[in-house]
């Protein structure tokens, strides 16, 4: 039986799940920024569980709040995505 080291497992994991580039405003992580992300962001705020979701901090000020919803909506309306 083959013995795998930690490094082997890590290499395999990285191969299976390459670090994808984070898409601006992609709160739900489906690879696109759209109205669903606004919904997801609002729901996350209402649930109070926005921790650990960097994408939820749309305006990148270190906090997740209603300003990020506004920023995301403005970004989507701007058509720059």
Q: What does each C-alpha distance from 33 to 4, 14, 37, 73 come to in angstroms?
A: 39, 25, 6, 10
38, 41, 44, 57: residue in contact with Ca ion (rule CB under 5 A): 57
8, 14, 30, 54: residue in contact with Ca ion (rule CB under 5 A): 30
9, 54, 61, 81: residue in contact with Ca ion (rule CB under 5 A): 61
Cβ neighbours of residue 22 closer than 8 Å, sequence gap 6 or more: 54, 55
**Nearest residue (CB) to Ca ion, 9 versus 81:** 81
54 scored as a contact of Ca ion (CB under 5 A):
no
């Amino acid at each position: 039986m083959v013995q795998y080291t930690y490094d082997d497992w890590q290499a395999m994991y990285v191969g299976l799940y390459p670090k994808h580039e984070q898409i601006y405003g992609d709160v739900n992580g489906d690879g696109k920024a759209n109205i669903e992300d606004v919904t997801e962001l609002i729901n996350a705020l209402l649930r109070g569980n926005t921790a650990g979701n960097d994408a939820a901090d749309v305006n990148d000020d270190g906090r997740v709040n209603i300003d990020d919803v506004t920023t995301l909506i403005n970004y989507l309306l701007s058509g720059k995505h």
